[in-house]
Amino acid sequence: MNLLVTAGPTREFLDPVRFLSNRSTGRMGYALAEAGVARGHAVRLISGPVTLEPPAGAALTRVTSAAEMLSAVLDALPTCDALVMCAAVADWRPKQVSAQKLKKNAMNGTLELERTADILQAVQGVRHPDQLMIGFAAETENLTAAADGKRSAKGLDMVVANDVSRSDAGFEVDTNAVCLITAAGVETLPLMPKRAVADRILDWIEANHRNRP
């Protein structure tokens, strides 16, 4: 298959020094790309700013902002069989971006924000019916209900949900404990290495892959 995987955070700049971002390290997305290559799939990895070495054999596109990630996803989408949207894309960006570093005495303490593009929502308007779409939901409460709502609202085939309030799962660690949520129900996986989680996700993708005409 042709797999399209996104990973890592985005950075939404206020000025050349400051930006909004999140705690994503990209480890889960890179594990997915590595597992895909190991299984013989053609993998395109679209990565936000991380310190990880990309898996050998994956085609890498580096991006910084949510807008850049959206553009890269839409560019690669027509040839993919499955999109695994693992990146932690910023929901908001500063409304005004300064070309020069803002001085403290020139800032009034209020930062006006605007929404970034919803990449999964944008994809729904252009996806091929046979393409699988997998999203991730990082939650701190009401895990399965919130994630299943995301699956339904965005027309996803599966959502991988994890509780990022846990110290042993989610951000900045090598293990994860997730729920795989589909229209058929919820499969709860125990705590395991992120590479093992990646293999379970790819098992589902391979089992549900629909050959495109």
* Residues annotated catalytic, as ranges: 22
Residue among 9, 68, 75 nearest 44 (CA): 75
Copy the structure tokens of residue 96: 């005004």
Classify strands 2-7 and 42-47 as parallel, antiparallel or unpaired. parallel
How many Å apart are CA 139 and CA 121, to the nearest integer? 19
Q: Among candidates 171, 194, 175, 180, which has minimal Cα distance to 147?
A: 180
Is the distance from CB of 14 to CB of 101 less than 8 angstroms? no
Local structure of 57: helix, strand or coil: coil
Torsion over CA: 51, 3, 177, 145 (sign) = positive
Cross-strand bridge partners of residue 182: 185
Task: Identify whether the C-beta of residue 159 lies closer than 8 Å to the C-beta of residue 150.
Answer: yes
Measured distance CA(9)–CA(169) in Å, rounded: 17
